[in-house]
Amino acid sequence: MILLDRYTPNFIWKNENALVDHGLVIEQELPYVVSKRKYEEMSVLGSNRILHEWFEDYEPYDFEIPNVSIPYENLAEVKQWLLGESTLITHNDPDKYCHAICNMSKEQPYQNEWGVFYTFSIVFRCDPLKYRVNEPEIVLNRGENIVTNHGDDKSAPFFVFESGGGDIVLECNEYKLTVLNTLKGTMTIDTELAMCVQNDVQLRTKGRWLRVKQGDQIIKVTGNITSGKIQMRGVYL
């Protein structure tokens, strides 16, 4: 995968560089899109005001790239490449990615320009939040660990522990999760999917699945572990 030049409109899709690997030429600068919060409006009887309630979620959005051209002979490969679901990285935010589906909402016409090149537009339907490319893992030990969430909102981290058996407890601010009756060996905790797995078996838990606020936070680990790691999964707007 070739790194992106911030001065040249370009993107990476399915780990392939649009310009370098497929000869796409994008004629105008790509926008930077910030997701919209998903508010629920409630009217109040007898009042002219509208109340807004937010449940800490965001709306997906369409990311359109107009006026794209490719060499005439590249059409077959590009048609296959711009199908389905993958991760999208753009040149104006090259260290972040989002999950997207390409051309989900409408057909994809390719205009033949004198048998020399094709012109068309691309629309990606994007998940609202972005993630860091190659985010490093952070070592966790028993007791209190200071970690940093560099993202723009709360994250739902992923943990890996080498357990010596028994209950393992994770605490961060108002969140506390207890994993019950672990065995000796590797176990994973995916707080986004609400799953704790060891030896391909889902373990029982009690409490709240951890969310980590922005900035420096303390994660307390209690239980019989020999090593631990966290992938913060910081999210960005």
For residue 97, give the CATH number of its domain. Answer: 2.40.30.200
Q: Are residues 89 and 102 in the same domain?
A: yes
Q: pTM (2 decimals)?
A: 0.83
**Pairwise CA distance, residues 149 & 212, whole Å:** 7
Q: Which of 73, 102, 131 is the last residue of a domain?
A: 131
The last residue of one of the domains, among 97, 115, 131, is 131
Torsions phi, psi for 15 (to 5 deg): 65, 20
Q: Are residue 19 and residue 126 in the same domain, yes or no? A: yes
pLDDT digits (tens, 9 = 90+) for 23-82: 999 988 999 999 988 888 888 777 778 888 877 788 999 999 998 999 999 999 998 999
Per DSSP (E only), the strands in 150-214 are: 158-172, 175-190, 195-198, 201-202, 205-207
pLDDT tops 90 at residue 104: no
pLDDT in tens, 92-101: 999 999 999 9
- Indicate whether 184 pLDDT > 90: yes
Provide the 10 A C-beta neighbour count for residue 225: 19
Give 114's contacts (C-beta < 8 A, 6+ positions apart): none
pLDDT on residue 106 = 63
pLDDT of residue 198: 95
What is the H or E stretch that residue 2 is in? none
Beta bridge partners of 101: 85, 125
Does 1 reside within a domain? no
